[in-house]
Amino acid sequence: MAETESALQAIENGLAALGTRFRDAFAKAENEQALRVEQAKVLGKKGELTAVLGLLKGVLPADRPAAGARINVFKEQVEQAFSQRLKEIHRQARDAELSALPFDLSLPGRTELGRGHLHPVAQTRDALLAIFRDLGFAVGAGPEVELEANNFTKLAFPPDHPATDMQDSFWVDVAGAQPGARTLLRTHTSAVQIREMSSHRPPMAVVSAGSVFRRDDDLTHSPMFHQIEGFMVDEGVSFAHLKAVVGAFAERLYGPGTPVRFRPSYFPFVEPGAEVDAGCAFCVRPDGSHAGCRVCKQSGWLELLGCGMIHPDVLRHCGIDSEKYTGFAFGLGIDRVAMLRYGIPNIRLLFENDPRFLSQF
C-alpha cells in the first residue's frame, strides 16, 4: 500500500513539475517551430511524459485506471496549452506584419525570372504578315500534314517532278486516311492557295504563314523552315498588280525607294513565273547605288521571293473559272529574312533554341 501511494505520489509530483516546466517553455516559445519542439519534449516518444508513464508499473493494478486517467487529463492540458499558444503566436505574427512599415511600392520589381519574348522567326513572321495585312490581304492558314493533292497535284506538279521525290519530301502515313490519298509534311505554303481557292470564291487576297518541310540540311537550309505565301484572284488581275504588291512589300520591308527586279523563273503552278530580288539594304548608298557587300555577295541584290501568275489549270483544279478570273501568287522564306534582319549567320541557330542566343533578340 505504501509502495502504491508513493508511486502515485511520484506520478503526481512528476506531473506537477512537468506542468510548471512546459507552461513556462510554451510561453517562451516565440514561433511555431520552437513551440513544436517544446511540445515534443513533453509528449514525444522519448519525452518527459513517457518517463512519468514508466512510474505506472509501481502502482497497484486497482489504482492504475485512476492514475492513467490523471495522465490523460494532463496530456489534454498540454495539447490545449499548445494550441492556445500556437494561436497566440499566429496572432502576434499577424499583428507584427500589420503594424510594420508598409511595403515600399517604389522598389523595383524582381527581374531574375526574366521576361520572355517571341522567337525571332515569329517576330519576323508577324512583321511580314503585318505588311501584307496593311496591303489588304486576309490571313489564312493550312495544316502542316497535307494531302499530296493540295501540295503537288492541284498545283500542277507533274507526277515525276523532282520535288515529289523521296529525296525532297517527308511522306507520312496518316491513320484513317482515305486509301490512295497520300500525305506528306507540306513542302511549301502554296498548298494553302489550293485550300483557300477551293473553299472561297473570288475576289480574294490571302496570305498565310507557317512551317514547311524538306529533306535539306546545311548552313542555309534546315529540314523545317518557314514561309509566307500570298495570292490574289479577281477579274482583270495582271502582272502589273503583282509588281505593285511586290514593290510595295519590298519598300516596307527594306525601306522607301528599295528597287526590285524580276528574273524569269519556273514553278509548275504559275505562268509566267519569276524570282524577285530587292536592292541590298545593307550596302545601299544615299544615292541609291550599291557599294556591294558580303550579304549580297557584291551583287547589290538580295533574293526576295518567288512569284508568278497563277496557272489557269490551278484555278480550274479549285473550281474557279479561268476564263473569267486571273490571279498572282508569291512565296518567300521567313527564316532568311530573319537571318538578314538580325545578322544571323547559320539557320540552325534559329532552331536550337538556346536561351543565350534567343535572349539577344
- The DSSP letter of residue 102 is P
- Contact segment (CB under 6 A) with ligand PHE among 45-53, 67-75, 103-111, 323-331 equals 323-331
Query: Measured between alpha carbons, how far is 122 from 82 in angstroms, rounded to an integer?
Result: 59
**Which residue of the chain is nearest ligand PHE when measured via CB?**
331
Cell of 211: 512551317
- Contact segment (CB under 6 A) with ligand PHE among 118-126, 294-302, 324-332, 348-356 equals 324-332
Residue type, 90: H
Give whichever of 52 and 209 is closer to ligand PHE, judged by the CB atom: 209
Round to the nearest angstrom and report the end-to-end CA distance of the chain.
Answer: 91
Among 85, 154, 186, 188, which residue interacts with ligand PHE (rule: CB under 6 A)? 188
Interacting residues with ligand PHE between 257 and 276 (CB under 6 A): 267, 270
Q: Using omega within 30 degrees of 0 as the cis cutoff, is the peptide bond preceding 61 cis?
A: no
- Using the rule CB under 6 A, is 190 a contact of ligand PHE? yes
Report residue 59 CA to chain centroid gap.
Answer: 73
Interacting residues with ligand PHE between 23 and 42 (CB under 6 A): none
Q: Under the phi-then-psi rule, with left for phi > 0, alpha for psi from -120 to 50, and beta for the rest, what region is 353? A: left
Give whichever of 14 and 308 is closer to ligand PHE, judged by the CB atom: 308
Interacting residues with ligand PHE between 113 and 132 (CB under 6 A): none
**Which among 191, 76, 217 has a CA at the least distance from the CA of 183?**
191
Give whichever of 279 and 308 is closer to ligand PHE, judged by the CB atom: 308
Among 331, 336, 344, 347, which residue interacts with ligand PHE (rule: CB under 6 A)? 331
Give whichever of 162 and 176 is closer to ligand PHE, judged by the CB atom: 162
Query: Facing residues of 178 across strands?
Result: none
Give the nearest distance from C-beta 360 to ligand PHE in angstroms: 29
Interacting residues with ligand PHE between 279 and 308 (CB under 6 A): 306-308
Q: Is the distance from CB of 243 to CB of 262 less than 8 angstroms?
A: yes
Exposed/middle/buried for residue 163 (C-beta within 10 Å: 0-12, 13-18, 19+): middle
- Contact segment (CB under 6 A) with ligand PHE among 14-22, 87-95, 107-115, 325-333 equals 325-333
**What is the size of the binding site for ligand PHE (CB under 6 A)?**
11
Exposed/middle/buried for residue 9 (C-beta within 10 Å: 0-12, 13-18, 19+): exposed
Q: Is the distance from CB of 35 to CB of 89 less than 8 angstroms?
A: yes
Query: Facing residues of 146 across strands?
Result: 184
Give whichever of 22 and 225 is closer to ligand PHE, judged by the CB atom: 225
- Contact segment (CB under 6 A) with ligand PHE among 16-24, 178-186, 239-247, 326-334 equals 326-334
- Using the rule CB under 6 A, is 320 a contact of ligand PHE? no
Q: Is the distance from CB of 328 to CB of 286 less than 8 angstroms?
A: no
Q: Torsions phi, psi of 246, nearest 5? A: -65, -40
Query: Measured between alpha carbons, how far is 291 from 71 in angstroms, rounded to an integer?
Result: 99
Give whichever of 29 and 276 is closer to ligand PHE, judged by the CB atom: 276
Among 204, 309, 329, 344, which residue interacts with ligand PHE (rule: CB under 6 A)? 329
Give whichever of 249 and 330 is closer to ligand PHE, judged by the CB atom: 330
Give whichever of 81 and 334 is closer to ligand PHE, judged by the CB atom: 334
Give the nearest distance from C-beta 245 to ligand PHE in angstroms: 12
Ordered DSSP codes for 105-136? TTSPPP-TT------HHHHHHHHHHHHHHHTT
- 247 membership: H or E segment, kind and range: helix 239-254
Give whichever of 270 and 337 is closer to ligand PHE, judged by the CB atom: 270
**Which among 169, 190, 130, 161 has a CA at the least distance from the CA of 332?**
190
Give the nearest distance from C-beta 308 to ligand PHE in angstroms: 5
Interacting residues with ligand PHE between 225 and 264 (CB under 6 A): 229
Give the nearest distance from C-beta 257 to ligand PHE in angstroms: 25
Chain positions contacting ligand PHE, by CB under 6 A = 188, 190, 229, 267, 270, 306-308, 329-331
